[in-house]
């Protein structure tokens, strides 16, 4: 499940410093970036959901002020707005799952998702080796060791 949610999470780019090369993020920076992006997405979906709820209430007010022509019109079929609401509710649930997943990211995820996909792996590992704490480096080496054993 975690891999599915991770694959659905939005990926944001890393800015380029003045020398034109992308700076490699530390584990803490990367995890914070993932959490913030998941939260931003969740906030966006919630705003859309709130707006859609507001629009739905307005449509109901307008519809209730019109005289009913027959009893058949009392049975409401799903409208486009209902379908949009359903989609937004599903996206909201997914956003909440993305936030929980991003908060539970570990050093192995950092290795497999972020470091492993860097175009210049050697440079990435050289740069990151200078930034990680001893504990983070030990965890990263453990994740690398697990990755190697999984490949066999």
- In the predicted model, what is the mean pLDDT of residues 35-59? 92
Query: What's this model's pTM, rounded to 2 decimal places?
Result: 0.69
Q: Give CA angle at 13 (37, 36), nearest 5°.
A: 15
pLDDT in tens, 98-134: 999 999 999 889 988 998 889 988 889 899 888 888 9
- Please give the Cα distance from 122 to 137 (Å, whole number): 15
| Nearest Cα to Cα of residue 102 among 44, 49, 43, 28 | 28
pLDDT in tens, 66-101: 776 655 455 556 677 778 889 999 999 999 999 999
Q: What is the mean pLDDT of the chain?
A: 80
pLDDT at 39: 96
């Amino acid at each position: 499940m975690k891999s599915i949610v991770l694959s659905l999470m939005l990926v944001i780019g890393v800015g380029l410093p003045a020398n034109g090369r992308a700076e490699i993020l530390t584990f803490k920076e990367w995890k914070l970036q993932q959490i913030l992006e998941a939260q931003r997405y969740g906030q966006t979906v919630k705003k859309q959901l709130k707006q859609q709820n507001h629009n739905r209430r307005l449509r109901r007010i307008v519809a209730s002020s019109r005289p009913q022509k027959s009893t058949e019109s009392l049975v409401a079929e799903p409208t486009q707005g209902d379908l949009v609401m359903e989609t937004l509710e599903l996206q909201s649930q997914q956003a909440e799952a993305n936030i929980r997943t991003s908060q539970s990211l570990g050093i192995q995820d950092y290795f497999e998702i972020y470091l492993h996909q860097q175009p210049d792996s050697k440079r990435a590992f050289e740069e990151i080796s200078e930034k990680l704490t001893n504990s983070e480096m030990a965890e990263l080496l453990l994740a690398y060791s697990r990755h190697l054993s999984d490949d066999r």
